[in-house]
Amino acid sequence: MKVIWNNNYSTIEWNFMKISFVIFWLNAIVTILSKNNFIAMPIGLLSFLQPNSIIDISFKLMCLITIMVAIYFYIMEKQMIWTTLFLFLISVLVFTIEESNGIFRRNELFSFIFFSQFLSYVFKAKNIDSNIQKNRVQFSVQVIAIGYTLSAISKLNVSGLNWVFDGKKMPLQIMKSYFYSYVNDGNNFFIQKGNEMIKTFNNNLYLVYFLLGFSLLLEFFAVISILNKKISFIYGLLLLVMHIGIFWVLDVAIKGIYIPMLIFMVNPLFLFWIILKKIKNTCMMVVGYRVQ
C-alpha cells in the first residue's frame, strides 16, 4: 500500500505513465493520419494553408517515422527537452489537421501535457526547480486539473447555476447521444436503450439534479488535485466515477479528457503491475511453505 499511498512519484510510476500515455496518443495520431486526406477548413496552426490542401502519403509516412523515433527517445528518457518539445509540436500539428476537417475530439490535454513535461525538463536544466521526479508528473496533473476547472467555468458562464436545473432538458441530449451510436453502426439496440434511459431519467429527476450539482462542484474544484499526489489520486477516482456516470446516462466518453486524467492521476497500469507483483509474491510464499 505504501508504494501507492505516498506523495512521491517513483521512476517506475513515471515509466508506466509514459508508456500508457504514449500508446493512447499514438493511437489517436495514427487514426487521424489514416482518416484525413486533406484540409477542408484550415484553422489554428494550419490557417495559413489554402482550403482543400491535400495531405499526401509521403507527409504521413514522414510524420509516422519521426514520431516513432521520438517515442523511442521518450520511453528511453533521452534528450527529453527536445523530445517532449517535438512531441508537443507534432501533436498540435496532427490534431489541428483533424480540427481543420471540422472534427473536435477535445485532444488538447494530450498536446499540452507534452508541453508541460517539456517545461519540467527545462526547469531542471536551468536549475529553476530540479525536482524532476515530481514536476514531470505534477505539471501534467496541473494541465488536466485546469481543464476540468475551465469546463466548470464554461458551464457557469453560459448557464449560471441554472445549469443544474436545466438538466431537465437532458432527455433530448440523451436521445441524441444514443442516435449517434445508432447511426454509427445501424444497431436498433441503441434507440431502445436511449428510450429506457430517458424513462429512468424522468423517474429520478431529483437524483439527476443532485448528480449534476455534484459533477459541477467536482469539476470546479479539480484544481485542488494539484496539491499533492494523494489528493490527486483520490480526485482521480472521483472523476472516474463521474465519467462512468456520464457514459452510463449519455453514452458519451471523451477519450481526450478521461484518458490523460486516469493515467496521470490514478495510473491504472502501475496499479495493475503492483497487484500482479502481490499475487506473484503470495504464490511464491505458498509454494515455498509447501516445499518446506
Partner 1 sequence: MKKVIYKSSGFIIALTYFIGVMIFGEAHPFCKFSMYSSFADYSYVFYFTDNENKMIKCTDLNTTGTNLAHMYTTICEKNDFKHGHGMESDSVLHEIGKQMLNIIRINNLKLTHNNKKVKINRMYFYYEGKDIKCKKQEMYETIFK
Looking at 59, 72, 82, 180, which residue binds partner 1 (CB under 8 A)? 180
Residue count, binding to partner 1 (CB under 8 A)? 74
Closest separation between CB of residue 287 and partner 1, Å?
A: 47
Closest separation between CB of residue 274 and partner 1, Å?
A: 27
CB 112 within 8 A of CB 85: no
User: Which residue lies nearer to partner 1 by CB, 18 or 155?
Assistant: 155
Site for partner 1 in 196-255 (CB under 8 A): 223, 226-227, 254
Closest separation between CB of residue 73 and partner 1, Å?
A: 21
Site for partner 1 in 108-127 (CB under 8 A): 108, 111-112, 115-116, 119, 123, 126-127
Task: Tell me which stretch binds partner 1 (CB under 8 A): 79-87, 163-171, 267-275, 279-287.
Answer: 163-171
Cα 87 from Cα 111, distance rounded (Å): 8
Site for partner 1 in 57-76 (CB under 8 A): none
Task: Tell me which stretch binds partner 1 (CB under 8 A): 2-10, 103-111, 274-282, 283-291.
Answer: 103-111
Among 223, 234, 99, 66, which Cα is nearest to 151's? Answer: 223
Looking at 7, 37, 192, 204, which residue binds partner 1 (CB under 8 A)? 37
Does 99 bind partner 1 (CB under 8 A)? Our answer is: yes
Closest separation between CB of residue 38 and partner 1, Å?
A: 5
Task: Tell me which stretch binds partner 1 (CB under 8 A): 11-19, 96-104, 272-280, 281-289.
Answer: 96-104
Closest separation between CB of residue 280 and partner 1, Å?
A: 37
Site for partner 1 in 5-34 (CB under 8 A): none
Closest separation between CB of residue 76 and partner 1, Å?
A: 24
CB atoms within 10 A of CB 112: 21
Closest separation between CB of residue 143 and partner 1, Å?
A: 6
Among 251, 164, 252, 168, which Cα is nearest to 216's? Answer: 164
CB 38 within 8 A of CB 52: yes
Cα 261 from Cα 246, distance rounded (Å): 15
Amino acid of residue 10 = S
* DSSP bridge pairs for 54: 38
Per-residue binding letters, 130-149, with partner 1 (x by CB under 8 A):
-----x--xx--xx-xxxxx
Task: Tell me which stretch binds partner 1 (CB under 8 A): 67-75, 84-92, 271-279, 284-292.
Answer: 84-92
